Structure 1
Amino acid sequence: MEDAPATTGVVDAEKVASGVRFLSHPDVQTTPLAERLAFLEKKGLSRAEINAAIEQHHQANAVLAKPEPAASSSLWSILFPMAGTTAVLGFLWKFMQYDEANKLEQETANAAAYARESTASTETALVQAIQAQTAEMMKLMSVMQLEAQERRALLSSQTTTSHSISELRAELASLQAAVAKLGSQPAPAKTPVTTEAIPKSPVAATDDTAADFQARAKKMLEALKLVELDNNAEVVKQAAGILIMYTKNLVEQPDVPRYRRIATGNANYKQKIEPLQHHLALLTSIGFEKVGMSMEWKWHGQPASLVLLKAAVHAFESAVASNGDVLAIAAESFLSANAPTAIEAPTLPEPAAEATPNLDSFLQKLGAKSCTEDDKSTTEPSYPASFADVMKMVQNGEEVPGIRTIEDKLSAEAQARLDAPVAAPASKPWAT
């Protein structure tokens, strides 16, 4: 009994402080209280010291757990955070708006610069394309100008050639007239005879027919000369091809009605006949007349008119063969060979006393003219008019005038080579 109060009364402050530290340790607070007390007893703390340490430990925890006094609330303490937050948010909003505006402005500037660059590149390409097209157009215009100059030069040369040809034809006609004048015999003395005293006989009717035929032939030759002088050679050649078709069918079958009609609305007529100057005069001179929308041949009842058609066909074929030239000359040569009465002979000046017509002198002239034509036809060979005539003469075994026969003989050197003996062929190794 006496030891207990002494034990309880003596307390070591260091041991109590050590026990408080032990109990305050975070790792120790999770262990049960009995284990903690047992550990303190093992450390040599008395019951009083353990109780003092536990009491101090509880007091320290109570001081730490005591709540702080509540702060006095006021209106300013509520408004100040809200005002600060609003100011911060407003500043952030303005900053964001400014940043967005800068970004938008930068994007707009970039887009405008890209648009300007693309527009500039497009304009540059367009300008280059326009410049290239302009250069091509200039080249084309220069080529066209050169072609126009060449055409003018060609036209002037063709005009000069046509003039020279017409002059040559005039000289040829004058020479023919001079030759005919020199070859004609002087007519015998004529006795004046009045036409009333002599009745009209069949000879006079023949004379009228010959005069009519001669007038038609003259009209055709004049039309051919006009066509030849006033047209280009190529145009004459194209028209001659179609005119050959029209006139040849008419010559071969004059009684067929459809061959006696030419449709003026036909494409061949429009494209090849109408560009020919004086084509109406030419068609009229060989017997065609305008009837409605076509040209009809009105000489189908007159056999002598076929000679004029044949002369026209011969002229057209000569034009095709000679590139549009010698139309009138070809027709005149055909008429002189097949119808001598169609060509007018140059008349000599007669004395004043022989002004009245004389039938006997006319018959004598006609006989002399026929004799001269027969002599001319017998002395001069009749040349074929085309290659088809040449082939017909060859097939019939006739000799074609103007073609030389070449002997089918070899030269002496070639004959000697053929007569020389041929060397024996070389022996072949495998043949032995």
Structure 2
Amino acid sequence: MASTEQPDPPTQDGLPPGDSGPAPPREALIITAVKFLQNPKVRQSPLATRKAFLEKKGLTDEEVELAIQRSGSTEEVLALSAVGPPHPLHASQLVPVVHSPAGYRWRDYGALTIIMVGIAFGFHQLYKKYILPLIMGSREDKKHLQRMESNIAAMSGTLTQTVSQLQQTLLTVQELLIQQQQKIQELSKEQTSAETSSSTNRILDNQTIGELKQEIVSLKGLLLS
């Protein structure tokens, strides 16, 4: 907050406040008083208050009038003198108080509210367009990965079961092959033994036939003799 203190014109050493002696005007004090009267904050206070303040600081009536004329406050002096003599004020009432209009405060509040709403809307749009898709995308990716893992686990279980069944089938086929080989070997042995016995029988039959032929020949010889 800006300070409302007013610059005080210097007082003359050795002269009490409000002294109106016949001394000539002091140019340095008049220049300082002119700057004091031209201060925008000082102009907001009543002119009578400003005159009383300058007189209290040690300026004479002549010096105060010169300072008022140089600062351009003559019209204010005439207007106030037509109304009547000013009432004496305390030193605490000489400082002008600047009040900010309520309209400016409400306008500042409205501008701040609009800015905050704009920031909130921009953040909402940013979240909706960029942040939320990233979050949802990561969630969808996570769900997709979970589904893939579930499918892979199910396929792995099915594949393991299929491999086990194939192994059992192969073992069964291997046992059947072994049994078939054993049967084939048995049949081969039987066939071999059968062939051996048949050849033996043939040999015996041939021998028997030969013997019978010899007996017949010998009988024929006996009959002929």
Q: Which has the higher contact order (CA 8 A, sep 6+)?
A: 2
TM-score by length of 1: 0.25
Structure with greater helix percent? 2
TM-score by length of 2: 0.45
